[in-house]
Amino acid sequence: MTDYIMKRFLGFVKKEFLHIFRDFRTLIILFGIPTAQILIFGFVVSTDIRDARVAILDLSKDEVTQKISDKICSSGFFRRAGDLENYDDIDRVMKKGKVKAVVVFGTNFGHNLISQNKATVSIIADGSEPNTATLITNYMTAIITDFSREFAGSSLSSNLLVQPEVRMFYNPEMKGHFMFVPGVITLILTLICALMTSVTITKEKEFGTMEVLLVSPLKPLQIILGKVTPYFLLSFINVIFILLLSFFVFDLPVKGSLVLLLAESMLYILMSLSFGILISAVSKTIQQAIFISFLGLMLPTILLSGFIFPIENMPEAYNWVSAVFPPRYFIVIIKSIMIKGTSFLYVWKETLILTIMTTLFIGLSVKNFKVRLQ
């Protein structure tokens, strides 16, 4: 008897796989988008800088600061976007996004350099674009070190030192660097599990096949499980695929436990699947399902999860809004495991939150799934 039920179920799962593999668009979403995103985020987002706008706050205005400023701005990498008068201006121009970085020379720079053999120049970069910020500070540090060497050579005193001091505005710890892999994994899982699951179930409803299935001896639970099982498997394969891709193309290994990472991914897949089922329970048409998935999960994933815009930079209110959406926690988890190599002890809180959310969504979907199609 159980054998016969299992066979019936497997036949149903097989049908779902056929749907997936026969639809070109579905395949593109499943495998094309992850590849494209990893490659785009990996290569395009952070390769080179050119004519990056910098402002200079020169409180000494002496020969040395002039020379350093000229050297920076004539390098081809930077363009002088303006001169500032005081420290308050820094925040103003940075907030407006007019400049990517500000170079600050304190008072008596030249004098200090000659008398104390040491002077400090501050480089303040806009950390809300972590990749660019890193590049800018690296390039500038190199230019200043180069100047320091030349200057020391010409003045015959070899231990002259201009010391660059790097500061990041908005994102001091450079969180968000290499964020793209965790971000893409989150995005893809959300896309496949929530969006595609809700669409595939709603499709049966809209086309009338759901009614036939419900009249058949298949139980509603079997129908739902049969529909989501293929997506569960494919999402899992996708996680592994993305990890391999980021390892081989970007040398980004998983620092922490791979088993933990995969287990957490499964939890997130479950969460998204149950969210997808919930969406399909409340939507009557495919368009509705797509719309709800986008508003409810895709946009929060992209905008509020810290994937592209660091949560630290968000106004307090957005921070609270972001706390409601699950992707945020998964990104924290996956980032900690992948990049920092932390153990479960450091992500148990996020894991607990995701588990609670998953339970909540499953409960709601079960309650909401209209067995009787009313």
Nearest C-alpha neighbor of 307 from the set 130, 193, 191, 184:
184
d(CA 84, CA 82): 7
* Angle CA 240–237–248, to nearest 5: 30
Distances (CA, A) of 112 to 108, 150, 162: 6, 17, 10
Q: Given the rule CB under 8 A, which of 16-24, 88-96, 143-151, 230-238 is the region that contacts another protein?
A: 16-24
User: Under the criterion CB under 8 A, does residue 3 sit at the interface with another protein?
Assistant: no
**Shortest distance (Å) from residue 8 CB to another protein:** 6
User: Under the criterion CB under 8 A, does residue 43 sit at the interface with another protein?
Assistant: no
Eight-class DSSP state of 176: T
User: Under the criterion CB under 8 A, does residue 12 sit at the interface with another protein?
Assistant: yes
**Shortest distance (Å) from residue 267 CB to another protein:** 31
User: Under the criterion CB under 8 A, does residue 211 sit at the interface with another protein?
Assistant: yes
Is the CB of 212 or the CB of 299 nearer to another protein? Answer: 212
User: Under the criterion CB under 8 A, does residue 220 sit at the interface with another protein?
Assistant: no
User: Under the criterion CB under 8 A, does residue 213 sit at the interface with another protein?
Assistant: yes
Nearest C-alpha neighbor of 183 from the set 310, 87, 69:
310
Q: Which amino acid is at 127?
A: G
**Shortest distance (Å) from residue 361 CB to another protein:** 26
User: Under the criterion CB under 8 A, does residue 17 sit at the interface with another protein?
Assistant: no
**Shortest distance (Å) from residue 282 CB to another protein:** 19
Of the residues 2, 47, 217, 345, which one makes contact with another protein according to CB under 8 A: 217
Q: Given the rule CB under 8 A, which of 17-25, 70-78, 96-104, 287-295 is the region that contacts another protein?
A: 17-25
Q: HSE (CB half, 13 Å, CA atoms) of 214?
A: 13
d(CA 239, CA 245): 10
Instruction: Report H helices in 23-129.
Output: 24-27, 33-39, 63-73, 87-96, 109-116
Neighbours of 275 (CB within 10 A): 28
192 neighbors 202 (Cβ within 8 angstroms) = no
Of the residues 47, 96, 208, 345, which one makes contact with another protein according to CB under 8 A: 208
User: Under the criterion CB under 8 A, does residue 4 sit at the interface with another protein?
Assistant: yes
Helix (H) or strand (E) holding 52, with range, is strand 52-58
Give one DSSP letter per residue of 119-152, joined into a string. EEEEEEEETTSHHHHHHHHHHHHHHHHHHHHHHH
Is the CB of 22 or the CB of 50 nearer to another protein? Answer: 22
Burial, 219: exposed, middle or buried (Cβ in 10 Å; 0-12, 13-18, 19+)?
Answer: middle
Of the residues 115, 155, 158, 209, which one makes contact with another protein according to CB under 8 A: 209
**Shortest distance (Å) from residue 10 CB to another protein:** 8
Residue ranges in 19-38 that form contacts with another protein under rule CB under 8 A: 19, 22-23
Q: Given the rule CB under 8 A, which of 114-122, 144-152, 155-163, 213-221 is the region that contacts another protein?
A: 213-221
**Shortest distance (Å) from residue 202 CB to another protein:** 14
Is the CB of 4 or the CB of 248 nearer to another protein? Answer: 4
Of the residues 155, 158, 216, 368, which one makes contact with another protein according to CB under 8 A: 216
Q: Residue numbers of the site for another protein (CB under 8 A)?
A: 4, 7-8, 11-12, 15, 18-19, 22-23, 207-209, 211-219, 372-374
